[in-house]
Structures are given as C-alpha cells and as structure tokens.
Amino acid sequence: MSFVLDLFTMGAVLAGALFFLAGTVGLLRFPDPLTRLHALTKADNLGLGLIVIGLLPQVAWPLGAFKLIAIWLMALFAATTISQLMARAARDGEPVR
C-alpha cells in the first residue's frame, strides 16, 4: 500500500513540477503582461496544487494535511489578488515590469 502511495506522490509532484517549468517558460517567453500572468497562474494553481495533493499521503493526518491545504489556499488567494492588481494596472497602461 505504501508503495502505491509513494508512486502516487512521485507522479503528482512530478506533474506539479512540470507545471512550474511550463509556467516559468511562459513567464519568460510570452509577449505581454496578461499572457505572462496567465502562465504564472498555471504554476500557482495547478503546479502547487498537484504538489500539495502529492505530498498529502506523506504527512501526518490530520494536522499535517490541513497545514499543507491551508498553505495551498493561502498561496492561491495571494496569487489571485496579485494577478488582479497587476492585470488591472496593465490594462490601464500603468508601468508594469
């Protein structure tokens, strides 16, 4: 059973890492702020989410699992807010770097 769980962890974390890689490539290659934000949110939402899901079988239930999920939700919340602010600034033509 633990072998299957380990396999699940490896698969999910690897998939998450892939999303981070893709997001980073997008961040570096995409032409304008909105598309770059789009690439970045994939890494935040899916990449981190997959890594958290993958790590869930490896931590103590329930406290460790709750901590991981809380971290994921906080990161999602922060990333969403920042994306909104940056996208609005980009739309209004304020200097975005």
Partner 1 sequence: MTLALAVDIGLALLVLAVAGWTIAVRDTFAAVIGFVAYGLLLALVWVRLAAPDVALTEAAVGSGLTGLLLLSASARLRHAKTSAAPPGPVLQWAAGALCILIAAGLAALVLLLPDPAPTLAPAAVAHLPATGLGNPVTGVLMVYRAIDTFLESVVLLPALLGVWSLASEGDWGGAPILRHPRPDGALTLMAQVLPPLGIIVGVYLCWNSADHPGGAFQGGAVLAAMWVLALLAGLVDAPPIRQRGLRVLLVAGAAVLLAVGLAGIGLAGAFLAYPEHYSKPLILAIEMALVLSIAVALALLVAGPPVRTPS
Residues at the contact surface with partner 1, assessed by CB under 8 A = 74, 77-78, 80-81, 84-85, 88, 97
**C-alpha closest to that of 47 among 85, 29, 69, 21:** 21
User: Judged by CB, which is closer to partner 1: 35, or 80?
Assistant: 80
Distance CA 63, CA 60 (A): 6
In whole angstroms, the minimum distance from the beta carbon of 69 to partner 1 comes to 14
User: Judged by CB, which is closer to partner 1: 60, or 97?
Assistant: 97
Copy the structure tokens of residue 68.
């991981």
In whole angstroms, the minimum distance from the beta carbon of 49 to partner 1 comes to 19
User: Judged by CB, which is closer to partner 1: 1, or 39?
Assistant: 39
Distance CA 64, CA 59 (A): 5
